[in-house]
């Protein structure tokens, strides 16, 4: 009897915790817009006051990828011509995820050696929150693009470029806040992270070519044996 009572209580606790988590998730999602409009204050609070969550960051990332895919189909052909024969949806998704992963790992690996306050999750969070303007600007732009002519299309190009520049600035600034770096130091590490990405790509390429050669070696030995027998 006593055990059952205890169980019920823990159920309630779990329920409450879930509700709290949900509330925190929604609030952190909302906090993304605060980050967009108050970049310095927002990104500082994001990790140092635990306003952001990994869940919300992932949501922003997924929304960004979704908007990028939707754009292919629903942007007017005046602004975006798609050669459908060459589109591979998985490669297209990977074209965001792969550089993001390299960036996050590269940045974390470097900054953690040089007094960076951000952990791996924090770097991921800062980067994803910085991508919010892309979805916020590109999605309405995609809809509007269907209601304008080519002569009126100048603003599309301008806004499109603005959204990208905004993302870039937010990410760079965001990481400065996350790591509590001065602007100069941050800039240095941004460039260094880009180099780290290149190095990682280089190592990955060597790795894969070694593996494939190794596999090919064993396959050819196997073939040789098959021919002999």
Binding footprint of another protein on the chain (CB under 8 A): 77-78, 81, 83, 147, 149-151, 227
H/E element, 215: helix 183-228
Question: To the nearest whole angstrom, how small is the minimum distance from the Cβ of residue 86 to another protein?
Answer: 10
Question: To the nearest whole angstrom, how small is the minimum distance from the Cβ of residue 89 to another protein?
Answer: 20
The residue (of 83 and 90) whose beta carbon lies closer to another protein is 83
Q: Which of 169, 189, 89, 183 is nearest to 129 (CA)?
A: 169
The residue (of 87 and 97) whose beta carbon lies closer to another protein is 87
Burial of 169-182, coded b for 16+ CB within 10 Å and e otherwise, reads ebbbbbbbbbbebe
Query: What are the Cα distances from residue 32, in Å, to 41, 125, 160?
Result: 12, 10, 20
Question: To the nearest whole angstrom, how small is the minimum distance from the Cβ of residue 145 to another protein?
Answer: 12
Question: To the nearest whole angstrom, how small is the minimum distance from the Cβ of residue 119 to another protein?
Answer: 45
Q: Where are the alpha helices (DSSP H) in 38-53?
A: 39-48
Question: To the nearest whole angstrom, how small is the minimum distance from the Cβ of residue 150 to another protein?
Answer: 4
The residue (of 149 and 213) whose beta carbon lies closer to another protein is 149
The residue (of 1 and 225) whose beta carbon lies closer to another protein is 225
Query: What are the Cα distances from residue 152, in Å, to 25, 52, 63, 199?
Result: 40, 39, 28, 43
The residue (of 3 and 228) whose beta carbon lies closer to another protein is 228
């Amino acid at each position: 009897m006593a055990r059952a009572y205890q169980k019920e209580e823990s159920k309630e606790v779990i329920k409450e915790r879930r509700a709290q988590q949900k509330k925190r998730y929604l609030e952190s999602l909302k906090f993304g817009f605060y980050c967009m409009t108050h970049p310095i204050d927002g990104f500082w609070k994001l990790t140092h006051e635990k306003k952001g969550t990994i869940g919300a960051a992932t949501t922003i990332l997924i929304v960004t990828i979704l908007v990028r895919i939707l754009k292919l189909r629903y942007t007017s052909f005046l602004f975006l011509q798609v050669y459908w024969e060459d589109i591979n949806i998985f490669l297209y998704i990977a074209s965001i995820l792969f550089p993001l992963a390299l960036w996050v790992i590269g940045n974390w690996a470097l900054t953690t050696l040089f007094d960076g306050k951000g952990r791996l999750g924090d770097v991921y969070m800062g980067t994803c929150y910085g991508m919010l303007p892309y979805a916020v600007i590109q999605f309405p732009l995609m809809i509007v693009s269907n209601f304008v002519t080519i002569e009126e299309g100048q603003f599309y190009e301008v806004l499109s470029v603005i959204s990208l520049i905004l993302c870039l600035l937010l990410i760079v600034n965001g990481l400065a806040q996350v790591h509590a770096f001065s602007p100069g130091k941050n800039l240095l590490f941004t460039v260094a992270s880009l180099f780290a990405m290149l190095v990682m790509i280089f190592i990955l390429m060597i790795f894969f070519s070694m593996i494939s050669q190794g596999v090919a070696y064993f396959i050819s030995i196997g073939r040789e044996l098959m021919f002999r027998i």
